[in-house]
Each structure stands twice: as C-alpha cells, then as structure tokens.
Chain A
Amino acid sequence: MACLVRSWIPLLFLQSFLVAIAFGSNEGEEFSEELLLKPLPDRKVLAHFHFENRAPPSNSHGRNHHLFPKAISQLVQKFRVKEMELSFTQGRWNHEHWGGFDPLSSMNAKPVGVELWAVFDVPQSQVDISWKNLTHALSGLFCASINFLESSTSYAAPTWGFGTNSDKLRYGSLPREAVCTENLTPWLKLLPCRDKDGISALMNRPSVYRGFYHSQRLHLSTVESGQEGLGSGIVLEQTLTVVIQPETTSVETNMQPSWSLSSLFGRKVVGSCVLAKSSNVYLQLEGRLGHESKNVDTEIEAHKLWMNSDFDLSLKPDRVIRESSSLLFIFDIDKSSDSEPFDLGLTWKLPSKWSCEQAPLHASRFLMGSGNERGAIAILLKATESQEKLSGRNLTTDGRCTIKANIFQIFPWYIKVYYHTLQIFVDQQQKTDSEVLKKINVSPSTDKVSSGMLEMMLELPCEVKSAAISIEYDKGFLHIDEYPPDANQGFDIPSALISFPSHHASLDFQEELSKSPLLSSFKEKSLVRSYTEVLLVPLTTPDFSMPYNVITITCTIFALYFGSLLNVLRRRIGEEERFLKSQGKKRGGLKQLLSRLTAKIRGRPIEAPSSESPAAESSFLSSKLIFKIILVAGAAAAWQYFSTDK
C-alpha cells in the first residue's frame, strides 16, 4: 500500500508541473464570453453575444495556440492583416427604434449581406494581391461567396470616407449574399467551446434566424508589441447581434412583453465555458427608466433595483452599474449548474415607454426616375429628435454650429454616375458645392475594370431639417455572360455609409470595468455610423436565347453590303450586251467554254479567238485544271506535314 502511495506521489508532482507548464506558456491567451440583453422600445429584445479571444505577442516561429483559433492566426500571418472586419447580416437595423447613437448600434448595425474590410501591413503594390488572397481564404473558411470580392469591380480603396485613414485599406460588400446557418457553424468553430457550453449554447438556430435582424461579425486586430523579436498579438472579437420579438401572451398592446432566456432562445445557460476567463450576462435598461431610477436614493435602493414597481427580474444581479441614461445589471453565470440553470427573465408590471438615442441625422437612400436607361440616386438626411441635444457640442472656430457628415458610397461600374450632376439640397433649397461641401473625393468607375467610389464630407448647419444629395446615372448594358442567372431581378447597389466624424458614441460608466472586454469596448469612443438601404436597380436584359440568330442576321447584313456593292461595281452593261450579241451570232457553233473566253479577253476583235482550235483550248484548260489540283494537293500535303510535325 505504502509502496503504491510512494509511487503515486512523484506522478502527482509531475502532473501538477505539466499543468503549470501548459498554462504558463499560454499565460496571456484569454477568452471571455459575454451576452448583453436589451429590451427595445418597439417590444423587441436585442441579444448581443460578444466573444473575445486574445493572443499576446510572442515569437511568430513555431507558434502554438492554446485557445486562439489557429486558422485565424495563420490568416493574419500569411496575409499580414493589420485589422479586418467581416460581417454577415440579414435584416435591416432600425435606427429609429433600436438606437443610432450608442456604441452597440454604431459597431453592430451592418449592411445587408457580407461586408469585409481589411487593412494590410504590406507594401502598397501588394495590397490588392493580399486582398484577393484573403477573400479566397475567408471564402473557404466561412462557406460564403466572399471570393466574389476578389474582382476589382467589387471593392474599393476608401481614403478618408470610411473613417479609417489608411491607404492600405480595402473595402467590399456583397449585398446579395444570403446569410444562414452554414455561415454560423464555421464562425462558432472558432470559439473554444463552440456552441456546446457556456453562453454560446443559447444559439439555437431556429430562434436566431427567426429574428428581425441578425448580424454575425468577426473583427480582428493586431496589437504591436513594443519589444524586438516578438511578433504581434491578435485580438479576435466575435459578435452576434440578434433582434428577437418575444412571444407574448398579454392582450395589452401598450405593455412591454415579458421574456426570459428560455422563451427567447428555447434554451438555458448551463454553466459557463470552462475555458473562458469571464462569462457574464448584462441586461441594459435604457431611457426614461434609467433616469427615473437615478432620482431614487441610489445608495440604499441599489440592491432593490431589480425588483421594483415597473419590472421584476427573475434573478438577483451581482452588480448594478449606472450610466448617464441607462442601468446595467451584471450577472455572473459561473454559479449556474445543471440543477440550477441560468435563466434570466424580465417581467413588466406597468406599461413603459422610452426612446433610444439617435444619430444627429437619419439617412435613407432611394432611386429616382423610371425606365431602364437612366436614373438618379438620392440620399436623404433627416434631422432626428436628438439633434437639438447634440447641436451645442459642435461649434466651429468661427462660432457657427455645424454637423459634419461623411458619405461613402461605392458604385458598381454598370451604374455610370455623372459626378457633375451632383446636387445638394439643404432644407429644399439647392446649395452650391462651396457652401456645404467641405471635401469630396471621387474615383470614377471604369467599365468592367473597377468600381466607382464617392467620398463626401458635408458640413451642414445645426438647425438643418433635411438635406438631400442627388446624383444622376446611366444604366450600363452588359454582355450576356455578365448577367447573373436571375438577370431580371436586378442588380444591387451596396449600402452607402454615413458617418458623423465629429460625433462619437460611448457609454459613460462611472466605475472602472477593465475586466469586461465588452464594456470596455463600449466605453471607447466609436464613430457614429449608419448604413443606408441596399438599392435594387433593374437593368435591361438582352434576349438570352438568341445569340446565334443575332450572329447570323448581322453577318447576313454584312454579306448584303459586301455582295451587292461588289456586284454593282463589277457589272458592265456594255460588255454584257456585246457578249449576248456575240453569242447570238455564233450560237451552236461554239462551245460554252469558248464563249466564256471571248468574254474574258475583251477589247479585241471577236474573230481572234476563233482562230484558236477547240482542242488547244481544251488542253489549255485541262492543264490549268491539273495545275489547280496539284496546287490543292500540295497545300494539303504541306498542311498535313506541318500539322503532324508539331
């Protein structure tokens, strides 16, 4: 027995040592999972999953990862990606009801379909090649047709309109890409616990894709280590934003629906992902509610906030944090277990109403004109309620209050934009460019080679009610091979991006929360952005069924031209008459061959050919015939010889 114990002891030591090595070597690699829940004013619930994976700077040679997905780190190393963001979105973010001036919306409200942008750390000449390779790699990684962004007609290189000033930035989007579970599965594969454990276990596919909006995003950035010899660290941020309508049984229409995690997702959280450093669930209550409760004596009432006259929470929050206009309840799910699953619920007792903070201007985009020849694109910026609140902040040096708005727009080449027709209307009055247009950068599209890009910076007065920009275009005509299979559906113009460079959204927590990556990212100032609608432009289609007919008919026209003109040029009426006369004279006596010869040798007396004997004539012709045959045979032999020789 003692012997057994004695033999066990070193083994235990060894084990503990190994474990220490295993963790020690990957000390900096961290993973955290978080979920933010937020009731929205229009009776919906927003769920924002946030997973962050950090790989610290280390030697790039023989890199061994413990938690960090190898595929991503290889991607970063191979293509030297400095920063990259890929998003798959279905549905449109409702800026009016879901907010437009908070970090959540400015980071996670994405255009429909796939959007990809990347900044590279390579020489300028290799950026495009890196981009092409990256699109192919991502396309394989995420089971999506991101490789369509490879062609130079579908991406652009924004200079300043996108918000990131870099000449090594490439941006592309595919509005038509259908996003579904086959894109989510590879995305989940990058998580250490996949969707087996922890918060990600909530991602029940039917409930996620039933929602009004879902956007799955992957953002990675490299962190340069100051030290020599060390590579750069990578921060991988994966978020999934879902807007779901809770199923409600209450008859009252003005009552907010009550919900719980299990009613929203059909699942409960059973414990956290063991590999995660932290796994928290947040509940953010916004607007009037927050303000009201702020008036209450906070020190005493703080712990009772989760059960008041307005609403009930099914679980007691671990902490409550205040923000200027909202309340944040923090739940740690480490405590939950199989017997006691984490199932947060919110029950409303009284009808309540609040509104979200909105961006200074609400942007929408539409097409004008009818028919398939030309049209115009208009971007309409409308003042929102929050504008008065914000207007005080942006005084320019000369004391004028202005709102700056950047517009970034990509035009596919078949939308041939006339940039000189750009018109800007402020409050229904046309303005000259110098009045409101501060900066403009245009790169026109080249047919079948590159897409066009428009970057504008508008400086609008604060009291503006509405501003409209219109630009005319001609619709292009494509070759039949360039049309997609459903050509009559039309073509998509990618969303325009409207950003407000002088406005930054951030949540202002009083307490220091360095632990939580989600909250610290909210705390950082982020540019207020909104994407406009994707536009569908119907283009004229040729008749796809008749290329052969067109080819034959057109060639017939050419034959008609060539043949009839040549016929007119070589016809000689005088000679024909002479020929007929001569034939009439010597009918019967002469053979046809002879008469042909007389017609050929013209200008001579008709008697001349008659002196030649018919025998000589025929022998001459036969020699000619033989010569011809020999020529053809020789050509054939030469052809045969040369073709077989090769």
Chain B
Amino acid sequence: MAEEQNKKPCRFWIWASASVVFRLILISFPGNLNLSSRPEVSTPLTSIRRLAEGYWLKQASMSPYAGSMYHGSPLLLSILGPLTVQSIKGQPSHLLCSLVFVIADILSAMLLRGIGQKLQMAYGLNARLLGFLKSSRDKVILPCGDIAALVYLWNPFTIVSCVGLSTSPIENLAVVLALFGAVTRRVPLAAFGFVMATHLSLYPATLAIPIIIILGYGLDAPPIKLFLQTRSVENEKSSTSTVSKQAKSKQTTHLPFLWKTVAHFLFWVLLWSLYVLVLCALSLNKYGGLEEMFKRTYGFILSIEDLSPNIGVFWYFFAEVFDFFRNFFLIVFHVNVLFMLLPLVIRLKHRPCFLAFVYLAISSILKSYPSVGDSALYLSLWALFVNELIDMKFSFFLFCGYLGISLLSPVMHNLWIWRGTGNANFYFGNAIGYACFQIVFVVESVSAMLNHDRALRRSSSNHGEVKS
C-alpha cells in the first residue's frame, strides 16, 4: 500500500514533466504551427499580436488603447510587452513569451493539484463522518488533484492556447490562484487572485460568491441535512416523538458562517483592487487614465464591438442583428450570465468549489470573446470532482462532441476564410454545436452532482434504517 502511494506521485511527476517537455518542443517551432492567429486560440482580448501592437504604440508615446487593437490590461502590457520585442539570437521570436506561458501553465497545474488534495481530504473526511468508507471498502477515493493537474497539463486546449501565445494561461492562473487561496484559507492570496482575474477578464467577478462561501462555510461537503440526519438517527433511540426530533434538528441546521474571514477577504479585495487601480492609473497617466482603460477593456467586452469570428455565437449574431435591436440583445445576453447565479447558489451552496466550476463554465459559454483556453480551465476544474461526478450521463457523447468540434472548427474556418468555398454559416454552425455541447456538459454536471447528493442521502437513510 505504501509502495503504491509512493509510486503514484512519481508517475504524476513523470507525466507532468513530459507535458512540459512536449510544450517546449512545440514552442521551438512556432513558425510552422501558426497557432497564434487561430480564432479559436486568440481572441481580440488575448491575442499576443495585439499586445505587441499596444506595446509598440506605448513605446511610440501613444496610448496603448489608441486604435482598436489592444484591449487588455496595462499591467500585462508592461510585463509581457518587453518580452514580445526581445528575442534570443538564433531562436524564434516570442520564445520568451512562450516560456512565461509555460511557467503559468505549470503553476496553474500545481495549484490545481493543491486544491484537489484539499478537496480529496475533505471528501474522505466527510465520507468517514457519514460512515460510507467503512461500509463500502471497495470504493477507492481517486486522487482528484493529480487527475485535475494532468487534465490541465495534457488538455489539447491548454497546450494549444499556451503554444498559440494567447494570454489566457495567465488569466487561468489568476482564477486558479483565487480558488487555491480560498481553499487553503489564505485570504490575501485569494483576494489577489480574484482581483487579478477580474481585472484581466471581467467574468471571474462572479467567483466572488463561491469564494465567500468557501471562506464562510468551508470546503465542499454533502448537504448539511445529511449530517443532521445521521446524527439524529444515532440519537433516535432516546427520543421517539418526531416533533421533538424536528425541533432539535432546527436548532443545529445553521452551520457557523465565518463573518470575520469574509470581512477579511473583502478588505483585502478592496486593498488589492486599489493597488491595481493605482498601478494602472500610473501606467496610463498620460493616455487618458482609468476612464480610458475601463472604456477600452470592460467596455469592449460588454459592447461586443469586434465581430471577427470566434468559437462563440455572439460575433455572428451581432454581425447580422438589426442595429435597432442591438442594445436590447446585448443586455439580454449579458443578463443571462448573471441570471443563473442565484438559483445555482441556492441549490449548490454546500459545494462552493463545484459552484465555482459551474460559474466559470457558464461564463465561458456566454463570454463575448470565448476561446479554448477558457474551456481548458473549466474542464480541468471539472476533473477535481471525479469522485462525485463518476456516474455522469452522456460523458462519452460529450467527449466525442468536444473532439468532433475541435476537429471540425479548423476545417470550417479554412473552407470559409481561406478557400472561400464555404460561407459563414459553416463556421457558425460549428460554433452553435460547440455551445450546445458545452451547455449539455454543464447541465449534466450539475445534474450528476445533485444526483450524487441524493444518492448520499438515500444511502445514508438506508444505512440508518439498517442500523436501527
């Protein structure tokens, strides 16, 4: 048993380093791959070419937001900008940038592993508390941290967006950092990750809810009722009347909410966002300041000005929709991201990490400029819940769907853009298919998680009945 446990991390490290080597091999010939211009990989927000253009404009003492090229953060510009210009002699340009992205990927994978280990521990603890582990010995807890890290490292989407020089690995790193900080209860780190992720791509702002729940209530656990039930089943022998039992359980329904930690978190969020804003204001001092930045980054995300094709459905919709209705649909589509937040919180408040996964998946479906980098993130977060989601429906169908879409997408794009034999509907159809598969994936995951909780309840009640 001990040997096995030693072996597993060893195998993990081999696979992880193999993925890094694979990336390094891929980035040493980027000229042949030409991934950085794929619409699936680089969106107007994450494209490194646009970042280089913004850096060039800034060097030429113009606002980096002059023109409609760059829409990212000014901080990213000052960190990655110099790397786009410098190149080691004899090496392909952008090598330094690629190395930064590889490092970001490795870090994200390690943090995911950390989150996974915490979740695994919590799962084991809860299972023992509920008394499942004793009864079902054959059921082994999968090392979800290692799985998630490997899924992240070996996911073709991650590899493509890392090698294809889009800034999404850095955005993903910020998101994972926020979750890691929350899970390990490092409040300043969580706040930093959250602020950075929101600053870079706006949509992770929805993560505030799951992070607060993690900090307030603790990690993912089966519903609170279950614990009470098992406890009450144990106490049942003493009290027989149902009324008194209900009264008892009502007293202990509420788990203590750690207001102090949450306040601490909010304070740090305020502090970090002030810090980031001051830094941005300093770097954009001469070029219109923060107002310009918000207009060109968040404004660009919300108003969907760029209609160049991507794997989402918005670009074609807004290229075709009548101008008269444009604002209406903009509001409707953005509200759709927010609309599901509350129902999901109500049903999944006992599983905040899973809630974070659902939020990220939803925002990556309904994003204005989605890319495969976003999918890579939520797919690896999904892998954190392999223990719970092991009997998810349609998993093979979904796997084939993702595979088919990612193979068809370049073909359709080629037919439409390069050969001119297809038209826009080809690529849009592909995007619709992708959106559908993602929706089914999210819905099935949520359904599987709810079913898992139901199964737990049923088995625990059966367990209690057997005991009694």
CB proximity of A581 to chain B, nearest CB, Å: 15
Is residue A370 contacting chain B, with contact meaning CB distance below 8 A?
yes
Nearest 7 A/B pairs, CB to CB: A444-B67, A420-B56, A447-B68, A371-B418, A547-B320, A477-B307, A550-B320
Q: Do residues A569 and B317 form an inter-chain contact, with CB atoms below 8 A?
A: no
Indicate if B190 sits at the interface (CB-CB under 8 A): no
In contact, B439 and A560 (Cβ under 8 angstroms): yes
Task: Mark out the residues of chain B between 312 and 337 whose CB falls within 8 Å of any chain A CB in the assembled complex.
Answer: 313, 315-323, 332-333, 336
Supposing A442-B62, A542-B319, A557-B435 touch, asked if A373 and B67 sit within 8 A by C-beta, the answer is no
Interface size range of chain B in the complex: 35 or more
Partner pick for B67 among A446, A542, A547, A553, CB 8 A cutoff: A446
Instruction: Check B66 against A372 for contact (C-beta < 8 Å).
Output: no
Tell yes or no: A360 within 8 A of B by CB. no
Mark the stretch among B47-55, B115-123, B397-405 that contacts chain A. Answer: B47-55
A554 proximal to B (CB < 8 A): yes
A564 to B423, CA, bound (A): 31
Pick from B21-29, B150-158, B276-284, B338-346 the stretch touching chain A: B338-346
Asked if A442 and B60 sit within 8 Å, CB to CB, the answer is yes
**Across-interface contacts of A560 in B (CB, < 8 A):** 436, 439
Q: Say whether chain A's binding surface is mostly helix, strand, loop, or mixed.
A: mixed
Chain A residues contacting B319 (CB-CB under 8 Å) are: 477-480, 542
Question: How many residue pairs, one in A and one in B, have C-beta atoms under 8 Å apart?
Answer: 141
Contact of A479 among B69, B323, B340 (CB under 8 A): B323
Docked-complex contact B442 and A565, CB < 8 angstroms: yes
Contact between chains at A568 and B418 (CB < 8 Å): no
Q: Which of A559-610 contact B (CB under 8 A)?
A: 560-562, 564-566, 568-571, 573-574
Interface residues of A (CB under 8 A from B): 370-374, 413, 416, 418-420, 440, 442-448, 452, 474, 476-481, 540-543, 546-547, 550-551, 553-554, 557-558, 560-562, 564-566, 568-571, 573-574
Closest chain B residue to A371, Cβ basis:
B418
Flag if B432 contacts A448 (CB, 8 Å): no
Bound Cα distance A144, B424 (Å): 34
> B343–A566 contact, CB under 8 A?
yes
* Interface pair B443/A568, CB less than 8 Å apart: yes
Tell me the bound Cα distance from A110 to B442 in angstroms.
61
Nearest-neighbor residue (CB-CB) of A554 within chain B: B317
A416 touches B68 (CB 8 A): yes
10 more A-B contacts (CB under 8 A) besides A419-B60, A542-B320?
Answer: A372-B417, A443-B66, A444-B68, A477-B308, A540-B416, A542-B316, A558-B332, A561-B336, A562-B336, A565-B446
CB distance from A438 to the nearest CB of B (A): 15
Ordered by A's residue number, 22 sampled pairs between the chains whose C-beta atoms are within 8 Å are A419-B60, A420-B53, A420-B56, A443-B66, A444-B57, A446-B67, A446-B68, A447-B306, A479-B319, A480-B319, A481-B323, A540-B416, A540-B417, A550-B321, A554-B432, A557-B432, A557-B436, A558-B332, A560-B439, A566-B340, A566-B343, A573-B451
- Contact A374/B37 with A418-B49, A550-B428 known, Cβ cut-off 8 Å: yes
State the B residues within 8 Å of A (CB): 37, 49, 52-53, 55-57, 60, 62, 66-69, 305-309, 313, 315-323, 332-333, 336, 339-340, 343-344, 346-347, 365-366, 416-418, 420, 423-425, 428, 432, 435-436, 439-440, 442-443, 446-447, 450-451, 454, 457
Which residue of the partner chain, among A477, A481, A565, contacts B340 with CB atoms under 8 Å? A565
Interchain nearest-CB distance for B344 vs A (Å) = 7
Assess whether A418 is in contact with B69, with CB atoms less than 8 Å apart. yes
- Inter-chain contacts of B365 with A (CB < 8 A): 561
A546→B320 contact, CB < 8 A: yes
Partner of B320, one of A371, A447, A480, A564: A480
Tell me how far the C-beta of A161 lies from the nearest C-beta in chain B, rounded to whole angstroms: 16
Contacts of B339 in A (CB 8 A): 562
Kindly state the separation between the CA atoms of A624 and B315 in the bound complex, as whole angstroms.
Answer: 46
Question: Cβ of A444: which chain B residues have Cβ within 8 Å of it?
Answer: 57, 62, 66-69
Chain A residues, CB < 8 A from B52: 418, 420
Instruction: Point out the residues of chain B lying under 8 angstroms from A543, CB to CB.
Output: 320, 423-425
The chain A residue with its CB closest to the CB of B428 is A550
CB-nearest residue of chain A relative to B305?
A: A447
Q: How many Å lie between the Cα of A350 and that of B333 in the bound state? A: 79
- Known A-B contacts A370-B418, A551-B317, A558-B333; the reply to A574 vs B340 at CB < 8 A is no
Contacts of B37 in A (CB 8 A): 373-374
* Interchain nearest-CB distance for B382 vs A (Å): 16
- On chain A, the residues within 8 Å of B420 by CB distance are 372
Residue of A nearest to B307 (CB): A477
Q: Are B432 and A553 in touch, CB under 8 angstroms?
A: yes
* A479 pairs with B318, CB closer than 8 A: yes
What residues of A have a CB within 8 angstroms of the CB of B423 in the complex? 541-543
In the complex, the answer to whether A557 meets B446 with C-beta atoms within 8 Å is no
- Given A547-B320, A554-B313, CB of A419 within 8 Å of CB of B56: yes
Q: Distance (Å) between the CB of A207 and the closest chain B CB?
A: 41
Please, which residues of chain A bring their CB within 8 A of the CB of B309?
Answer: 477
Q: B418, A541: Cβ atoms under 8 Å? A: no
Residues of A within 8 A of B62 (CB): 442, 444
Given contacts A547-B322, A557-B439, contact A373 B53 (CB under 8 A): no
CA distance in complex: A565, B449 (Å): 13
Given contacts A452-B67, A540-B417, contact A420 B55 (CB under 8 A): yes
Cα(A420)–Cα(B316), bound, Å: 29
